Amino acid sequence: MDPAKPLAGKVSLVTGASRGIGLAVAVRLAQLGSDVAICARNPERLAEAEDELERQGVRVLTSAADVRRASEVQAFVEAAEHTLGEIDIAVNNAGVGIFVSGHQATEEQWNTVLDTNLKSVFLVSRAVAPSMIRRKSGHIINIGSMAGKSAFAGGAIYSASKWGLLGFSQSLAEDLRGYGVRVSVVAPGSVATEFSPHAGKDTSKMLQPEDVAHAVEAVVTQAPQSFISEILLRPAQKP
């Protein structure tokens, strides 16, 4: 095995991967030798991401899937398995942020955030787990947030989704560890992406998408007798 390509022969699936953290994670996994399946809802950005990933010399599958819908998640996973092979690494990154006082939020806003940030993690995990269990191997990595650890004004819906993601992930890890399947959470603070406004902050001091990708690399290259259950990622300096 090429030590520079420890994931050669592996297949990774990344949601919300047409830009930002998801794309950085997908690129890092491809650089490590993994074939990659990605999804997002913007076909144009998906095409750009596909070009960038193919330059890494790996096989790539893209899908304009809506991860809030069970049928589309299942179709995406099945297409990835048919084209690339069974999933070894699943990174649940798709997410949205709506920041509003909890008592002023609408039901639509609640459903949008919880379905995207939490329900999708359940749907993808449920779809990839059976083959991982059968093979007694696999990684499910959920991109959380420090908002799942700390409350803040205007963050009721978003924090609820990320606190829920942490609880789901920890319980799923217990469900699957006996089968050799490892479930981990990478929870960064604010990352310099288009995800949310960063007024008044020095983005050069903020976390970068590549920092999150590095944390994912640490998880998937961990020795087989242990697993990293949670990584809390903070910038070295406050922006």
Active site residues: 158
**Chain-centre distance of CA 45, in angstroms?**
17
3-state SS of the chain is: CCCCCCCCCCEEEEECCCCHHHHHHHHHHHHCCCEEEEECCCHHHHHHHHHHHHCCCCCEEEECCCCCCHHHHHHHHHHHHHHCCCCCEEEECCCCCCCECHHHCCHHHHHHHHHHHHHHHHHHHHHHHHHHHHHCCEEEEEECCHHHCCCCCCEHHHHHHHHHHHHHHHHHHHHHHHHCEEEEEEEECCECCCCCCCCCCCHHHCECHHHHHHHHHHHHCCCCCCCCCEEEECCCCCC
